[in-house]
Structure 1
Amino acid sequence: MADKFKFALAVLLLVAGIAGFYLLAEQAMILRVLAVMAGTALAVAVAWRTEQGQRFFVFARESATEAKKVVWPSRKETMQTTGMVFAFVVVMAVFLWLTDKSLEWLMYDLVLGWRKS
């Protein structure tokens, strides 16, 4: 029950920060942005103390660790793969155009006997 209260408080703090942005419409933009940032920081601080918040931050930490294990392709590999994709798209476009024109000729000229003018 306490976690639900803390989570609701975090949501209210976030909403208060956003509301502060609009309520301070006459103030300088830096103050308005600081209101949103303060509301967000307080909401994160309160949410951190909940069980769900702890699980989320553990998940985020593990995700960052896993992302570091990814072997990203080199520039050369990326360019080669992109080139293959473009070539495939061009080949498919020509194939579909030829198929369309063949079916058009078959249906309109041979089957229906309509001639284009």
Structure 2
Amino acid sequence: MNTKAEQTKSVNALDIGKLVLAGLVLAAGIFAYSWFGSDSSIPQSVLMLGVLAALIVALAIGAFTAPGRRVRAFLGESQFELRKVVWPTRDETLKTTGIIMVVVVILSLLLGLIDLILKSVVLDWLLKLGS
């Protein structure tokens, strides 16, 4: 567990301006897609490339802000931690899957049997006693 105290980091005005600019670029890309989407002379693939370009530019602008640097650091640490994961082998995966399937079948049969017993108790015994 990380024992460092989490510090609140304020975002300065320049970073806020960059984030607003990134949002405006993305909104402009989406607006252009919807505006020119009704015009049948522009292919749909070109419109999608425009939105993708706007998204990439917006992400690039946002990456150079303090929150963007924190996200990049987080992604780098996550990638480092993923290298530490020991993934199961194919044989272990198949055995575990088989065990889970057997347990599911056994539990479904058990629950079906309990349902059948409760149905017979309620319908045959309890309802006949009341009449």
Aligned position for 2:67? 52
Aligned position for 1:24? 36
Q: Which amino acid aligns with 1:4?
A: I
Q: Which amino acid aligns with 1:24?
A: F
1:14 pairs with one of 17, 20, 26: 26
What is the TM-score with the length of structure 1 in the denominator?
0.89
1:96 pairs with one of 96, 108, 111: 111
- Residue 106 (structure 1) aligned with residue 121 (structure 2): yes
- Residue 67 (structure 1) aligned with residue 67 (structure 2): no
Identity %: 35
Shift of 1:33: 1.9
| Structure 2 unmatched ranges of 5 or more | 1-12
Give the number of equivalent residue pairs.
114
2:94 pairs with one of 79, 83, 87: 79
- Aligned residue for 1:17, secondary structure, equals helix
- Aligned residue for 1:72, secondary structure, equals coil
| Structure 1 unmatched ranges of 5 or more | none
Q: 2 CA distance for matches of 1:84 and 1:108?
A: 36
Q: 1 CA distance for matches of 2:33 and 2:92?
A: 46
Over the aligned positions, Cα root-mean-square deviation in angstroms equals 1.4
Q: 2 CA distance for matches of 1:73 and 1:19?
A: 46
- Greater helix percent: which structure? 1
